[in-house]
Amino acid sequence: MIELRTPAEIEQMRPAGAFVGAVLTELASRAAVGVNLLKLDAIAHDMIRARGAESCYITYHPSFGASPFGKVLCTSVNDAVLHGLPHDYRLRDGDMLTLDFAASVDGWVADSAITVIVGTPRPQDARLIDTTTRALDAGIAAAQPGGRVGDISAAIAAVALADGYSINTDFGGHGVGRTMHGDPHIPNNGRPGRGVHLDPGLVIAIEPWFLESTNKIVTDRDGWTLRSADGSRGAHMEHTIAITPDGPLILSARA
């Protein structure tokens, strides 16, 4: 069911968005050569406790997950692109790291993700991150009142396809509110003018993610982490936004 939020409720969602943005900003600054993924998860956990927030991940157990997630942060490295389960791994020079984080503050949820390069960047990785960032920007710009979900999907796809990347539509954006995932689903490819209306009050997460040389994914042995089928690297960017009469409002903006 699609729920529309009142202007007052959207204001109440701002603290969750600000918190999620602040956590990702802090974690991105801490992602350095030699840092353990479990340490990053611990930092996020400490920030949740200090804020009095609640994790959206730790007990999360959808049908596609092998077990409850058990951590508060997704850490996807190199050929992993989604749902990366933190484990005992120390970041290496040149690693590509996606941090995906969602939390509830005062009963409202925000969800966001960012991909960073640890240490020395490879040109092809920087290009993939740039494309994914521009696709997110294009998707947000297309999220205009009176439009349709397909407008967002088409805008994201146009950026990816122009840069030569293929698109997987198994996972994409989604509604956000009292829970992390809700209607509508927002695929990263689609036709403009189609799909659910973008009415003021709709709050959604827009999240383009692309792999360097495939659109096929496989599930890791941990039952959660999604990796490229050919071992190529992936990037993932996400923001929670609200549709307002004046246009899209980014709730999870980072410093």
Q: 47-68 burial, b if ≥16 CB within 10 A, otherwise e?
A: bbeeeebbbbbeebeeeebeee
Does 87 belong to an annotated binding site?
A: no
Q: Is 193 exposed, middle or buried (0-12, 13-18, 19+ CB in 10 A)?
A: exposed
3 is in an annotated binding site: no
The verdict on whether residue 45 carries a ligand-binding annotation is no
Token digits for 65? 């997950």
C-alpha pair distances (Å), 194 with each of 141, 148, 244: 17, 6, 20
Question: 240, 228, 246, 185: which is closest to 56 by C-alpha?
Answer: 240
> Residues marked as binding for substrate?
83, 181
> Residues marked as binding?
83, 100, 111, 174, 181, 207, 238
> Residues marked as binding for a divalent metal cation?
100, 111, 174, 207, 238
